[in-house]
Amino acid sequence: MLRIGLTGGIGSGKSTVAARLQARGAVVVDADRLAREVVEPGAPGLARITEEFGSAVIAPDGSLDRAALGAVVFADPAARRTLESITHPLIQARTRELFAAAPRESVVVHDVPLLVELGMAPGYHLVVMVHADEQVRHERLVSDRGMDPQAARSRIAAQAGVAQRRAVADVWLENHGSRKELAAKVDDTWDRRLAPYNQNLLTGTRARMTGPARLVPPDPTWPAQAARLIARLKHVLGDRAVVIEHIGSTSVPGLAAKDVIDLQLGVSHLADADDPAFIADLAAAGFPRMDGNTWDSPKSWDPDIAHWQKRFHGGSDPGRIVHLHIREVGSAGWTAALVFRDWLRAEPRERRAYEAMKRQLAGATDSTGEYAEAKEPWFDAAFDRARQWAMATGWQSA
């Protein structure tokens, strides 16, 4: 089951996206609808709200006067937190029920207005963000919903800003055009990413590059992408992951690279990574175990292959190729990956030499496998230089 977090600022068009995803076959769990459900007349949530905020927020027919309650909580952060402490546990319990009831093969879209504000992003395989500029959203709220202009500004100001939204978004849908244009963007996202990702998830398949290795210019968003992946892995594994770090070429600013995010997950003992529950949890999160690739090539300064053992998982998301290397913390392989990264970050001349070598081999090999194998002789010498740099500078892992 692929879990998608869908969000966007008020007036962004999130509900339109949710409806289109549902038309494409997704199961949509609407947090706003559940929020209304848990405060219907006779529901425990409404009784608690009455106790906290008084009868002034109750309409003559006994239902919740949303406008009256909104006027209170959107002007008072403490009151908003009180309301959330009442409704959120009830909404979460109902959400779990609906997720559990969805068929295993489903793409489940969780439509959550406050996903960013509540720190929920790591709990999904992907976060889809619907965006429109503040002025556009304000105009929609006033003209389409009949909202008071000042109230509209207050609602927009109370939500997360653009930078916060970008930090958690895997898919960014701009919505400044027509509904037809937005629907086309949703369809493209479904066809190219969501449906294939779900199929990979169901079959335990990793997404991978095919054909010759292709280098791309440095992408300044690579660190943010890695941070989102690391947050998801931590959410899934908890303390079983001692440390998770971004390694490889995409972790080195200014370095051209294959568009692959390499992550190193450190465990206390490599046997921890072989626990069936550990493997199953990673697979369910979109990182299935891959056979083979159980050791790194030993270097001259530590030729014992036992110190270079690892496990390898690949990411199932076709929109973001991920290599997850699991190594024992403190092992030769774990240390070498971090030293090599930090050495390249610190030494511009070595970084340029590495990029030149990569470009030469990318043009002379027919597959990514051949490309990786062809780099090994250079690595043997480079790791010696990196180790000497680490000793000279007193390098220590963070």
Strand 126-131 versus strand 2-8 pairing type: parallel
Q: What is the largest CA-CA distance in the chain?
A: 81
Q: Where are the alpha helices (DSSP H) in the chain?
A: 14-23, 31-37, 44-53, 66-73, 77-101, 134-145, 149-157, 162-168, 179-189, 195-203, 222-237, 276-284, 332-346, 348-362, 368-393
Three-class DSSP category at 322: strand
State how far the Cα of 157 lies from the Cα of 371, in Å rounded to an integer. Answer: 50
Exposure of 197 by Cβ count < 10 A (0-12 exposed, 13-18 middle, 19+ buried)?
Answer: buried
Work out the burial of residue 101: count CB atoms within 10 Å of its CB; fewer than 13 is exposed, 13-18 middle, 19 or more buried.
Answer: exposed
Cβ neighbours, 10 Å, residue 147 = 18
Q: Which residues are annotated as a binding site for ATP?
A: 11-16
Give the annotated binding-site residues. Answer: 11-16
CA distances from 230 to 198, 226, 243, 318 (A): 20, 6, 9, 18
SS3 labels along 203-264: HCCCCCCCCCCCCECCCCCHHHHHHHHHHHHHHHHHHHCCEEEEECHHHCCCCCECCCEEEE
- Relative to beta strand 311-314, strand 322-328 is antiparallel
Does residue 145 contact residue 13 with C-beta atoms inside 8 Å?
no
* Nearest-angstrom CA–CA distance, 333 and 69: 57
| Half-sphere exposure of residue 226: CA atoms within 13 angstroms, side-chain side | 23
Using DSSP bridges, classify how beta strands 261-267 and 243-247 pair: parallel, antiparallel or unpaired: antiparallel
* Helices 348-362 and 332-346, packing angle to 10 deg: 110
Task: List Cβ neighbours of 306 (8 Å cut-off, separation of 6 or more).
Answer: none
